[in-house]
């Protein structure tokens, strides 16, 4: 009896040590992946901050404001916010690693503002797609009934809506996900609300952009606006490739936090989201430049051509 108890005790100890070793290995692997992504994302965020900062400076100082450039300006601010928060979080994590309480507070602030920037760019891109669709398919009604300051008013409302969505997401589903619990069992209304947004807005964005681009290429009268619509379509495609996966990764995590490797997927999709925020200024540059004059034109002229 004593020998059997001793063997059972040894087996329990060995099992416990095996589990602890597996947990430690997983923790080390997660920290290793997070460290690699952090180092890789830092220069990308720097490039994005410089690019979006240039767009902001040009639109505020060198370019006459139009309906579309108002959206571009707000999109640049949203991307700049997300990228700058990522840089600030990376630097603060290195500088104040030992002060745990302060570090947690900074993490919450930077994390919330990053979500806010991502959501704002998502809503602004949708607004751009819908407005260009109305302008191409219903031009008479659009130009006759469109209020003069619609872009500014709509962007203000989108910022407010993005803030409210971020508050709902961050303090319900995201906080529950960090505790490895299912969102819909604790906040069913919030989870359904976030799923509805993720299901409705991306298809609207894609359908409006694609139909507009096809219409532009088939109609010779709109050939002078090709740069603008090419810029919009490329921006939307980049969003679908780099930013949309993060939204679906978050939803999977909210509904099934026990899913294997979900943290790895979310960390990688977050990195892709940063790439999306960084790429828009480069899209404006490559669409707007002329190969023969690329070394002679100022950056403001190149950007303006892509928005014209």
At residue 97, the pLDDT reads: 53
- Of the listed ranges 27-41, 179-193, 227-241, 293-307, the one predicted with least confidence: 27-41
- Binned at pLDDT 50, 70 and 90, residue 25 comes out as very low
Comparing 106 with 146, the larger pLDDT belongs to: 146
Q: Which residue has 């692997």 as its token pair?
A: 29
pLDDT at 246 over 60: yes
Comparing 131 with 18, the larger pLDDT belongs to: 131
Helix (H, G, I), strand (E, B) or coil at 303: helix
The answer as to whether 8 is a domain residue is no
The answer as to whether 144 is a domain residue is yes
pLDDT tens-digit readout, 31-89: 666 667 777 888 899 999 999 999 999 988 877 788 888 999 999 999 999 999 988 87
At residue 121, the pLDDT reads: 94
The answer as to whether 275 is a domain residue is yes
The domain of 199 spans 22-307
Contact 58, 288 (CB under 8 A): no
Helices (H), the chain: 2-61, 67-95, 100-137, 139-145, 150-168, 175-178, 183-186, 188-218, 226-238, 244-255, 262-288, 299-307
- CA proximity to 154, closest of 124, 133, 125, 179: 124
- Binned at pLDDT 50, 70 and 90, residue 15 comes out as very low
The answer as to whether 262 is a domain residue is yes
At residue 291, the pLDDT reads: 67
> The CATH number of the domain where 47 resides is what?
1.20.1070.10
- CA proximity to 86, closest of 59, 65, 113, 123: 113
The answer as to whether 230 is a domain residue is yes
- CA proximity to 88, closest of 38, 30, 51: 38
The domain total for the chain is: 1
Contact 272, 48 (CB under 8 A): no
The answer as to whether 4 is a domain residue is no
* End-to-end Cα distance, the chain: 87
Give me the mean pLDDT over the 224-252 stretch: 84
Average pLDDT score, the chain: 80
Q: What is the pTM of this model?
A: 0.84
The answer as to whether 296 is a domain residue is yes
pLDDT tens-digit readout, 135-146: 888 888 888 888
pLDDT at 22 over 90: no
pLDDT tens-digit readout, 165-221: 999 999 999 888 888 888 888 888 898 999 899 889 989 998 988 888 787 777 655
Give me the mean pLDDT over the 100-121 stretch: 80
The answer as to whether 2 is a domain residue is no
């Amino acid at each position: 009896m004593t020998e059997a108890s001793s063997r059972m005790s040894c087996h329990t100890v060995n099992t416990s040590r095996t589990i602890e070793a597996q947990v430690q290995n997983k923790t080390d692997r997660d920290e290793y992946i997070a460290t690699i992504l952090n180092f890789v994302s830092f220069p990308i965020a720097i490039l994005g901050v410089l690019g979006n900062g240039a767009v902001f400076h040009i639109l505020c100082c060198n370019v006459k404001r139009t309906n579309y450039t108002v959206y571009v300006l707000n999109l640049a601010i949203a991307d700049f916010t997300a990228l700058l928060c990522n840089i600030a979080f990376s630097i603060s994590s290195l500088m104040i690693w030992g002060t745990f309480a302060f570090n947690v507070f900074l993490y919450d602030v930077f994390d919330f503002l990053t979500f806010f920037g991502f959501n704002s760019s998502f809503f602004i891109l949708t607004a751009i797609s819908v407005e260009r669709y109305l302008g191409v398919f219903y031009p008479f009604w659009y130009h006759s009934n469109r209020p003069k300051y619609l872009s500014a008013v709509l962007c203000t409302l989108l910022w407010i809506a993005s803030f409210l969505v971020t508050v709902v997401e961050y303090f319900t589903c995201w906080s529950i996900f960090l505790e490895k619990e299912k969102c819909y069992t604790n906040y069913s209304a919030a989870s359904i609300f976030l799923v509805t947004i993720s299901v409705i807005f991306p298809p609207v964005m894609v359908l409006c952009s694609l139909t507009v681009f096809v219409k532009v290429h088939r109609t010779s009268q709109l050939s002078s606006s090709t740069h603008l619509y090419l810029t919009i379509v490329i921006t939307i495609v980049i969003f679908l490739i780099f930013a949309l996966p993060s939204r679906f990764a978050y939803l999977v995590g909210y509904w099934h936090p026990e899913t294997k490797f979900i943290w790895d997927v979310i960390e990688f999709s977050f990195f892709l989201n940063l790439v999306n925020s960084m790429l828009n200024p480069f899209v404006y540059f490559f669409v707007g430049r002329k190969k023969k004059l690329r070394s002679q034109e100022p950056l403001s002229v190149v950007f303006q051509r892509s928005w014209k």
